[in-house]
Structure 1
């Protein structure tokens, strides 16, 4: 009955769309077991109503608050803010908060990231290990690339390092109130046999066996001013595991997020034209273009990303053919969907599934 009540609570709740798939919770508990932690005590401390590892729970989701509490309890138990993802390197509890505090009050995101890189370097010194951590902008000033590589890290851990870079960009997006779209990524290790984690963070082409772990995004974001303060950070940290790992926090000031809300997730009907959009947002065409350029995106990219995200979600479901997925995201020609999906993700729909 407790599980049924939880299901009803989630379905009736305003947070239903922000709920966390149970697989993420089970992964946390499996990590805890690997380190010999008392899972029962962990669940009790996080005020969980059931044990996802031992019960065949009907619940497919937990709330974002439950997931975040469980993450924070695991960090406390392990004494490692990475949650034990990197077994040969521990991040003492409190390190991340201090790094984030050092980034606040920077003049813009570029300065904030460089502060974070400098602070991180002082926390990651290892005897004899060469660490490369940097931020560069290409010659045209179009794309920025954040890189990290420690030569001592085993190759099988590099995909976890790459995911950590994606998490840092999610926090960076929160700092400036903008969604930062990763346009490409490179992993210093081989492609893992199980790559669900990479797919979660990178709905874009990912290259493997590179010289460093790297994520690229629009350099225009670096110019953005920070809109958060220390009080905002205290509130954010309570749900940081959810917003950093599961779903970035949407911003009321981001035009990109407002457009994504207008587009919705049903693309069988024609999307609004740019002129329609200016009316819906009560902006002139010139102002809208300037705002989108400032956020490092365009209306076409937003539409493509909306279709891409919907296609990825639909492909993960059983019972839908690739042709049916193509139709649901607005493609009447399956071959055109194949071409677009491969451009978006670097894989064909069949391979991605």
Structure 2
């Protein structure tokens, strides 16, 4: 089930991400070549400009950090109230490391935001709530602003989930989200962060995930964090950095991305991982997931990637992700994403 895509190929940045940073820099008065020079992009003598065709994750991160310095705003203009001065995120991140678990870290982050980032006299809805019956946690954030501002705030919550996942060495699966805005005409940005169902027109912006993650200990040191912050723009915006500590990641690697053949059974998986069924169930439960959810998410992610390309029909996508019956694929895809395959592609 393994694919032939190398790790280096996976880290090459789609041109749209680079273009978005350069366009934002231009709007702030910084010429493209100057911004690329700030980020130490190599000069291409054949094209007479900086080389951006095959941008690495490290180069993308340098470019984003250079833009933040130009804007003096680490949020890149996404916060509707005020810029976030350069250095704020670093202070916040280091302040979390002493927390005894992720729940305590998130509550400390909420307090930091209230005391250190919000303008005096301004209020925000920023809370962490727990549903003990469903064993789900909800992280919410709302500030007065336009629909576009609310969509960006929701994307900011997704970025927080990626950072939190890195802190605890787990993948945090957002099972649903809601947005305090009408559904946008172009949902590509939200889809990038949220393959799960998103409800629009809500009273706030929120993400919902397993409460088990809140109980996880923070595994990172100050040295780890210093190293991570240098590549944070890529890991938080483009693709989260997989954790070698996560059993979810190990299973996803074993499954690969070709599901036309039957996936391994749970019993087969225990043998492949060289651990007992009891140990595997306990580790999956600790990460707030199950083998069935991991399989569903693997199929979902591949289906989304295939539907975003031109050429493949919905029936062909269904076959690629392991469904012999297209109608069963339609039902599953709508359950996973909140949309039918046809509506998702439109």
Q: What's the TM-score, normalizing by structure 1? A: 0.92
Q: CA RMSD in A?
A: 2.1
Work out the CA distance in 2 between the residues paired with 1:116 and 1:204. Answer: 25
Give the conservation status (yes or no) of the 8 Å contact 2:130–2:136: yes
- Matched-pair contact (CA < 8 Å) for 2:36–2:63: yes
CA distance in 2, matches of 1:156, 1:12: 35
- Match in the other structure for 1:3: none
Stretches of structure 2 lacking an aligned partner (at least 5 in a row): none
| Runs (4+) off by over 6 Å | 54-59
* Alignment coverage as a number of residue pairs: 340
1:16-55 matched pairs, under 5 angstroms? 16-49=9-42
What do residues 270-296 of structure 1 show as CA deviations (whole Å, max 9, x unaligned)? 000000000000110011000000000
Aligned pair partner of 1:246 in 238, 247, 250: 238
Q: Secondary structure at the match of 2:254?
A: helix
Unpaired runs of 5+ residues, structure 1, are 1-10
8 A contact 2:178–2:199 mirrored in 1: yes
**Preserved contact between residue 145 and residue 214 of structure 1 (Cα < 8 Å):** yes
**Aligned residue in 2 for 1:134:** 127
Picking from 319, 333, 337, the partner of 1:341 is 333
Paired residue for 2:72?
79
2:161 to 159, 163, 169: 169
**Which segment is superposed worse, 15-24 or 328-337?**
15-24
In 2 relative to 1, CA 200–55 (structure 1 residues): closer, same or farther, beyond 3 Å?
Answer: farther
Cα distance in structure 2, aligned partners of 1:58 and 1:256: 36
Paired position in structure 2 for 1:8: none
Q: Partners in 2 of 1:35 and 1:127 — Cα distance?
A: 26
Alpha-carbon separation, structure 2, partners of 1:106 and 1:141: 25
Higher relative contact order (CA 8 A, sep 6+): 2
What's 2:265 paired with? 273
- Describe how 1:1-353 pairs up with structure 2 within 5 A: 14-49=7-42, 61-86=54-79, 88-140=81-133, 142-150=135-143, 152-353=144-345
- 2:74–2:89 Cα contact (<8 Å) kept: yes
In 2, Cα distance between the equivalents of 1:64 and 1:70? 10
Contact 1:155 1:188 in 2 (8 A): yes
- 2:41·2:51 contact (CA, 8 Å) conserved in 1? no
Find the counterpart in structure 2 of residue 5 from structure 1.
Answer: none
C-alpha displacement of 1:12: 11
Quote the Cα distance in structure 1 between the aligned partners of 2:124 and 2:204: 10
